[in-house]
Structure 1
């Protein structure tokens, strides 16, 4: 067998061993691999317009939960979002999609409400809101 052919087979064998060892390490410690399927924590991901909308909705839902807790304790809706601090929320969160704060509107019946916020993705104005039942609405 020629020398070049032996070197070629030796290289193939070395590559096969390295791939096998790498696969074993990957299987034993899946979080170490580049293609591990694990995602970065939400806070470490880039703030794309989609993520800003999602995070703003999460923040609005935290306000919704605090309003429900307030109503359960006091038997009525709060007059303003400031009534939720500090007992139900440490502070009133702000939407990531706008410099405007969340708006809280109680309907005239005194039993239903909405939490709304604005977004300005790509220079387009959009409004979003969540009602007391947790349903989402958008004015696109």
Structure 2
């Protein structure tokens, strides 16, 4: 009886420790993913503004907007700016299909994407 009570208490203690570790792990993950990154957001906004200005300069010179952002380098930009996050899924995106040229990036993972439509000179936000 004493032996089974000690064993039960150890299992309860181990379960409580694992639960606490899991809760702390989830909280840390949520903080890393959802924390505000003001410097990254400001960098992305400045990068978007420089891309928009370069696209307008490209249009003034060539009579059209670029089909891909790499057309801006090196004549209009020394290199493409970084978005808030790096990588093909989260960096700056540029869609030149459907008769519109739309610049965007990921502000909050997995959603929250500001975008700018060059033809309409307007900002929008996809949620």
* TM-score bracket, shorter-length normalisation: 0.5 to 0.7
- Shift of the 88–49 alpha-carbon distance from structure 1 to 2, 3 Å rule, reads same
Larger radius of gyration: 1
Deviations 1:111-137, CA, capped at 9 Å, x for gaps: x311010133xx653211112144222
Give TM-score scaled by structure 2 length: 0.60
* SS of 1:62 mapped into structure 2: helix
1:138 alignment partner in structure 2: 125
Q: For residues 83 and 54 of structure 1, what CA distance do their matches in structure 2 show?
A: 24
- 1:98 touches 1:119 (CA, 8 Å); kept in 2? no
User: Alignment RMSD, CA only?
Assistant: 2.2
> Using the alignment, how far apart are the partners of 2:121 and 2:78 within structure 1?
21
Question: Matches of 1:51 and 1:65 in 2, distance apart?
Answer: 21
Q: CA deviation at 1:49?
A: 1.8
List 4+ stretches of structure 1 deviating above 6 A. Answer: none
Which ranges of structure 2 fall in alignment gaps of 5 or more residues? 1-35
Query: Given the two structures, how large is their TM-score scaled by the length of structure 1?
Result: 0.55
Structure 1: 5+ residue stretches without partners: 1-47
